[in-house]
Chain A
């Protein structure tokens, strides 16, 4: 037993205490988040254009207009200028004084039709500001409380019948949270699984294996590697969580979409009973691949075969999220390789029946055990084989165990 821990600790230390792990494994995620936020801000600021908008009003709606309400930052107010005739508005547009002009026909209030003339495209911030200007004037004779409600509309709060879970339609972040958690887990799973595969292939390639096997039994070696690898993955996830949870706790009150984030107990259950066995399963499969191939490059190709089904639910995100209880969603959540991500995506969208969680986790645990068996077997047969690849037929053959 001590030898297992020895192997595990060796594996853990070798990968975690390196500069590459710190750079690629830990800082990449916060860096990526920062880049994405920067890109979004850039795109938003590209749309802002504060050149005035013009309008020609034949409908008397804007004959004595109220000013447009001030937009919320980062949007900046766009001035709105009245014009007597379309010709004068057109010459102002040609002169570059306005970015576009709207024409309200005399029957606007009965048909809701109007026209707009612009030079290339009119960006949505400016358009929305003109529309809220129209709305402000439309509602000038309505009771301000009612008018405010009409403009803002309703906030729908979706609740489960027993009241255990509720979520506001404006709070999309909570819905996506389980999915993000699932994706983070899978990314960590693959990067650490990749470490494990490489470690096995490398030790085979440079003949370290021959030396190790003189003092550790293949099963101890494999178990140690899998434990070490899983802990590397968990370390990575734990540190990512710190990067994500700390900002959420700090900025909770100042950023609107972070309000009212709640994590259901179900998500934690899934984490322990579905994601953890999946983690072990993928690690073991990676180790099995490492043991059967003779070169790191070959191993990478084989890795692709495993990663493809795992990412299938991600490609079907839209379908799974809008129909979390379809037959397809159910079958994907029972198939071992697609289950982890599917279950997490569905979790944000619906209340998973208890039997599905139980069944999925049983399947997941069984496949993890099977994968470990497979890895041990493949490892014993393939650990000292060079140049020649172990065939899968040999791994499953009954005879192989006796040899």
Chain B
């Protein structure tokens, strides 16, 4: 026990004596605060917004655009279209002349067989299919539609479906609020944060072990501690550091959000219950235990850091699946079958369950069940990896193979 504590203490002191640790710990909230401050300051003054947006999008340009209607469809331009938006030209040549002389920014040609073929040519000098500023193509196609519908604007719009829909949902959970992008993206952000936290602290262990293996420190260590003591001490030490880091980051981000809440009006957008923090702690610790031991096993078997980091992808895959699916599954249907399966499956639960909890509407027993399943898995994996952490494996320099890893996990090496 004393030796475990010794290993743990040593790990903690080595990490916190490193300048890069403090840089990451303090740098992240500082960068966040800086961004918030800059954005807040820009939001306050309109002239600053204009300058910034001109750098990003170029000077605004609103010039009329021309059209050549060979089909005779466009008889009138609806009154809602501002005057001087479109200028009619009898043929392509005169439109081209106007384009060269800079009178118009671009022009459309509605061909004779428009009704049959439906093609409109849009001649633009900068050839930009996505231009948002000064792009009047949507307006022109709408004008053509209205004229096709005999000038009846309501009729032309109804062709694309109703104008206004009152939705009533009979289930208790409110659908995600489409108006507030931040609330919609909360599950995604939470998924990403948890993924990075778990992977970040787990890979710390991987690099730590494979480095000590590489520079032969481990040979010396093994003369005085057992492999199992070494593993337990390392997991505990790095876990404590990771936890403190997480708590610190969460704390500062909450303070930051509260401070900036006045500028962005966030408090009404995101409301995470207090139980969320408790579950966050539980799932972080358990997820860390599982992935850190998997990584430690990897570090124990791989001869050097490079080979180890190539194999990490395979191990992190279950944790990545929720990340891939987050935009479709957790944002759209956080309580659908796939989401439930992912949040109960131990290897993806730490990330998936947190995403669901942040979306809301999870029955109370599901996080409990997921936590129990995850805890059982954690115990099994820690034991399996401890078995893997033997002098023979730690000292050998043979290349890393997935087959050997799986066999070692099953205790058959």
Contact = CB atoms under 8 A, between A and B. Distances in A.
Q: Do A and B come from one complex?
A: yes
B150 to A, nearest CB: 9
A108 B164 CA distance: 10
A155 interface: yes
A115 B141 contact: no
Contacts of B141: 153-154, 156
A160 B129 CA distance: 11
B170 interface: yes
B169 A121 contact: yes
Given A150-B145, A156-B141, A297-B211, A120 B126 contact: no
B167 interface: yes
A43 interface: yes
A351 B54 CA distance: 20
Interface size class of chain A, counting residues whose CB lies under 8 Å from the partner chain: 35 or more
B145 A153 contact: yes
B128 interface: yes
Contacts of A3: none
B122 A157 contact: yes
B127 A113 contact: no
Contacts of A43: 328
A325 B105 CA distance: 15
A117 B164 CA distance: 14
Nearest to B327: A43
B82 interface: no
A134 interface: yes
A157 B119 CA distance: 7
Secondary structure of the B contact surface, majority rule: mixed
Contacts of A325: 58, 126, 128
B175 A297 contact: no
A324 interface: yes
A198 interface: yes
Interface in A306-361: 319, 321-328, 349-351
B402 to A, nearest CB: 12
B318 to A, nearest CB: 15
Name the residue among A24, A109, A159, A167 with the largest chain B CB count within 10 angstroms.
A159
A146 interface: yes
B179 to A, nearest CB: 16
A116 interface: yes
A10 interface: no
B162 A158 contact: no
A39 interface: yes
B265 interface: no
A326 B55 contact: yes
A234 B310 CA distance: 22
Interface string B120-141: 1111111111111100010001
B168 interface: yes
Contacts of A18: none
Contacts of A27: none
Interface string A1-42: 000000000000000000000001000000000000001000
A110 interface: yes
Given A115-B166, A131-B161, A160-B127, 13 more contacts: A39-B325, A46-B336, A114-B162, A119-B169, A120-B169, A131-B162, A135-B159, A154-B120, A159-B121, A169-B129, A323-B57, A324-B128, A349-B130
Interface of A: 24, 39, 43, 46, 93, 108-122, 131, 134-135, 138-139, 145-146, 149-161, 165-167, 169, 172, 175, 198, 296-297, 319, 321-328, 349-351
16 contacts: A24-B310, A46-B338, A112-B154, A114-B164, A116-B168, A134-B158, A138-B155, A138-B158, A153-B141, A154-B145, A156-B120, A159-B127, A166-B121, A326-B55, A327-B54, A349-B129
